[in-house]
Copies of this chain bind each other. A is one copy, B any other.
Amino acid sequence: MDIRHLRYFVTVAEHGSITRAAEALGMEQPPLSQQIRQMERDLGVVLFERQTRGVRLTDIGQALLPRARTILDMQAQFLSTAQELARGEAGHIRMGLAGAVPLLPVIPLTIRRFREMAPNVTLSLEESNTPALCAALHEHAIDLAIIRPPAPDPARLSVFHLLDEPTVIALPRGHRLTTRPVISLDMVADEPLIIFARELGPGFHDAILSAYQSAGVTPVIGQQAPQIAGTVPLVAAGLGVSVVPRSLSQIHTGGVTFHGISAPAPRATLAVAIRAGQNMPLVTRLVHVLRSACKAWEKRLAAESFFETE
């Protein structure tokens, strides 16, 4: 028995007549009679009671009819779901976020907008560090990650630039420089630099140290934080200063003030990474949405700083 037989069964039951069901199905009466009989033989069950005027469901047929309808409905759902998946209108995305990424408003706002665009899509979010996210991508544990480039193994990944975020210096309350809105790195070169472990985000880590070097100073490395955002409380505790993405200034934890960095300032880069072979339309769509949203965000940011510096 296959789905065609179920369709025939339901149609005949609905029309109460093999002849009329046949024309509804776009076929002739004899083959439909045959198929019904064959289905009855296969099941070992009499579905219809043949009468002089059409056919009539037996009690067994009556009991089986709703089940047949259910299977047909599920098959139709299967087909439409396949279409939706193909068009990227449904499915599930497991998404990974590098440290402190959710604090940058453009990211959660874009994710939210994407969920509104594709309501049949379910998303699961996970926050981790860049190397772990890339490993998770390779292991198919996640489908998409927002990382701080470069990826450790860019060969089998596709990485697309999202944005360059300015960085700020975090100073403890009462620091001698808290009155100045903008600070240069050489002014804090002798204060311990609280920075996250390099393996949590090699790219951003190196960008910070390079900026120090460009400023002609060498930082004193203080305590290492287990996460990128984890440096802020250490600064608040007075263990030193830190350089963090500007979005971290959202954290209004007491005891810390944030100050702009005059050139040469490091920048915190974000990128979206997917597996190179990834062709799931849903993921492609999300990547596209993220890229265009971040492009607009960078443009707005440039305009703002233009007015600021003028």
Interface residues of A (CB under 8 A from B): 1-4, 6, 43-46, 49, 58-60, 63-64, 67-68, 70-71, 74-75, 77-79, 81-83, 85-86, 90-92, 143, 277-280, 282-283
In the bound complex, how far is the Cα of B278 from the Cα of A49, in angstroms?
A: 10
- A78 surroundings in chain B (CB, below 8 A): 6, 64, 67-68, 71
Which among A79, A85, A143, A282 has the greatest number of chain B C-beta atoms within 10 A?
A85
B49 touches A277 (CB 8 A): yes
In the bound complex, how far is the Cα of B88 from the Cα of A60, in angstroms?
A: 10
One of B45, B74, B92 near A67 (C-beta < 8 A): B74
Which among A45, A46, A92 has the greatest number of chain B C-beta atoms within 10 A?
A45
One of B63, B70, B71, B82 near A60 (C-beta < 8 A): B82
- A79 surroundings in chain B (CB, below 8 A): 1, 43
> Can you spell out 14 A-B residue pairs with CB atoms less than 8 angstroms apart?
A1-B75, A43-B82, A43-B83, A44-B82, A44-B83, A59-B283, A60-B86, A60-B91, A63-B85, A63-B92, A64-B78, A67-B74, A71-B74, A71-B78
- A49 surroundings in chain B (CB, below 8 A): 277
| A94: nearest chain-B partner, CB-CB | B59
Which among A60, A63, A279, A280 has the greatest number of chain B C-beta atoms within 10 A?
A60
Q: Smallest distance from the beta carbon of A168 to chain B beta carbons, Å?
A: 38
Given the interface pairs A45-B86, A64-B82, A67-B74, the reply to whether A59 lies near B1 with Cβ below 8 Å is no
Q: Say how many copies of this protein the assembly contains.
A: 2
Given the interface pairs A280-B59, A283-B59, the reply to whether A77 lies near B85 with Cβ below 8 Å is no
| A282: nearest chain-B partner, CB-CB | B59
- A280 surroundings in chain B (CB, below 8 A): 58-60
- A85 surroundings in chain B (CB, below 8 A): 45, 60, 63-64
In the bound complex, how far is the Cα of B259 from the Cα of A229, in angstroms?
A: 94
Q: Smallest distance from the beta carbon of A305 to chain B beta carbons, Å?
A: 40
| A40: nearest chain-B partner, CB-CB | B82
A64 touches B81 (CB 8 A): yes
- A71 surroundings in chain B (CB, below 8 A): 71, 74-75, 78
| A91: nearest chain-B partner, CB-CB | B63
Q: Smallest distance from the beta carbon of A172 to chain B beta carbons, Å?
A: 47
- A277 surroundings in chain B (CB, below 8 A): 49
Q: Which 7 A-B pairs have the closest CB atoms?
A: A2-B2, A59-B280, A43-B82, A60-B85, A2-B3, A45-B82, A45-B86
| A280: nearest chain-B partner, CB-CB | B59
B74 touches A70 (CB 8 A): yes
A77 touches B82 (CB 8 A): no
- A3 surroundings in chain B (CB, below 8 A): 1-3
In the bound complex, how far is the Cα of B82 from the Cα of A71, in angstroms?
A: 14
In the bound complex, how far is the Cα of B1 from the Cα of A47, in angstroms?
A: 24
Question: 9 additional contacts, CB 8 Å, given A59-B278, A67-B81?
Answer: A2-B4, A59-B143, A59-B280, A59-B283, A60-B82, A60-B86, A63-B85, A67-B78, A71-B78
